[in-house]
Structure 1
Amino acid sequence: MPTGVHIRNVRAQLFDAAERVLLRAGPSALTSRAVTTEAGCAKGVLHRHFADFDEFLADFVLDRAGRLAPQAAALRESAGTRTVPDNVTDALTALFGSTAVAIIPLITFRDELRAQLRRTWPAGVPVLTEGTEMLASYLAAERELGRVAADADVDTLAPTLIGAAHLLYADRRDAPPETTAVRKVVTTVLAGVTTQSPPEPT
């Protein structure tokens, strides 16, 4: 695409292109040229919107982390329905079936990206931090409903679930883990904490 041609929603197009490159070829293949080629635009387009490539990547990571907000709201609204392990299993499967798994090695791979993120994200790894907050909020809602034990430490359970699920998904070259494997982790972590039986069929 010629440099002078206007692109609508250029940030969104570049972010989507970066995601495709990242998922297809990994963090080492994610360069400004790879992104603009994937997006079908001139390389200068990216640099007109971002100071440098690490600023672009930081905004890309934060954009993907921000996309968890609707999922978090839906999960919290599901409190009181189905079973707690089923809801948590579905949430973790959706989280780690997204770009989250690929973003983690990207942040690890690039020192400058981590430094850029620290300016606006003081601790933790974006996406994983959001996922942890999502689960903690949901478990707190279930605790209020009495389906999670009143003394359950949801702020410890949530990162435990995220960490255990991440180990299942990380560095896999074949298919993602079966849902049954994720659910086994969830039920193990939540053993003795959930207080409700599965709902009766209607």
Structure 2
Amino acid sequence: MPRGVATPEPRQQLFAAVERVIVGDGPSRLTSRAVTREAGVATGLLFTHFTNFDDFLVGYAVDRSFQIAGAVAGLPARAGAATVAENLGEVGQALPLSMLLAMARLLAYRPGTTASVEAVLGPGTAGLQPLEQATARYLAAEQRLGRVPAGTDPDALALAVAGVLQHVVLSYGTSPAAATRIRRAMAALTEGFPAVTR
């Protein structure tokens, strides 16, 4: 990029670029040069906004973890509407698969990033943890309405939902098959649940 030309929302531009690098090439290919080349900006721009490359990756993980938490925050309020399988399936569709894939790969490749995110956002906030927690609250709410069987463990089922999402994005990436697999898995996990709505 020519000198003196302002970069609109440079942090988000860099975050989108690191996501594309992780999804396209894998986290082992992450370098500041790879990210800035993907973003189409000078390498120095990254270090204008972040102390070092580790700080940048933590910034990315914090931003995306916050987005995931925001995207699933309304799930418990959906209790009683549609079906449980439909609501859980929509959670997977509400989150960009590319973001889920990038986060899953990054946190697995650099496990210390989880603690760094939690140092900023609090315990249980990194990656898919907010989704798991929101799902558990949602399932507990549905259980109180009689739409999830009384013997069901909402926490364990929420863990299974998060596990399905992580496995699917790691196995199928952003292909159309991923969304189909998620919907089928949610239907299987909730098979036999009452379909009544209030």
Contact 1:92 1:162 in 2 (8 A): no
Quote the offset at 1:27 in angstroms.
Answer: 1.5
Aligned twin of 2:195? 196
Aligned twin of 2:102? 102
Instruction: Out of 57-66 and 33-42, give the one that drifted further.
Output: 33-42
Gaps of 5+ in 2: none
**SS state at 2:171 partner:** coil
TM-score (norm 2): 0.80
Quote the offset at 1:53 in angstroms.
Answer: 0.5
Distance 2:8 2:174 in 1: 36
Aligned twin of 2:61? 61
Q: Say what the alpha-carbon RMSD is for the aligned residues.
A: 2.9
Quote the offset at 1:143 in angstroms.
Answer: 2.3
Query: Is 1:156 aligned with 2:156?
Result: yes
Query: Is 1:129 aligned with 2:104?
Result: no
Contact 2:135 2:158 in 1 (8 A): yes
Contact 2:58 2:113 in 1 (8 A): yes
Q: 1:133 to 1:181 in 2, by over 3 A?
A: same
Q: 1:91 to 1:124 in 2, by over 3 A?
A: same
Q: 1:98 to 1:78 in 2, by over 3 A?
A: farther
Gaps of 5+ in 1: none
Distance 1:84 1:111 in 2: 32
Instruction: Out of 165-174 and 127-136, give the one that drifted further.
Output: 165-174
Quote the offset at 1:6 in angstroms.
Answer: 3.6
Quote the offset at 1:147 in angstroms.
Answer: 1.6
Counterparts of residues 27-176 of structure 1 (less than 5 Å): 27-95=27-95, 97-110=97-110, 113=113, 116-117=116-117, 119-120=119-120, 126-172=126-172, 175-176=175-176
**SS state at 1:168 partner:** helix
Contact 2:80 2:147 in 1 (8 A): yes
Q: 1:13 to 1:182 in 2, by over 3 A?
A: closer
**SS state at 1:34 partner:** helix
TM-score (norm 1): 0.79
Aligned twin of 2:186? 186
Distance 2:111 2:72 in 1: 29
Quote the offset at 1:76 in angstroms.
Answer: 2.8
More helix by share: 2
Quote the offset at 1:7 in angstroms.
Answer: 2.8
Query: Is 1:23 aligned with 2:23?
Result: yes
Quote the offset at 1:110 in angstroms.
Answer: 3.2
Contact 1:104 1:125 in 2 (8 A): no
Q: 1:134 to 1:112 in 2, by over 3 A?
A: closer
Q: Deviations over 1:107-159 (max 9, x none)?
A: 22236645644644776682211221121122123223332234532112101
Contact 2:65 2:125 in 1 (8 A): no
Q: Deviations over 1:160-181 (max 9, x none)?
A: 1211343333233683536554
Quote the offset at 1:82 in angstroms.
Answer: 1.3
Q: 1:2 to 1:131 in 2, by over 3 A?
A: same
Distance 1:185 1:167 in 2: 11
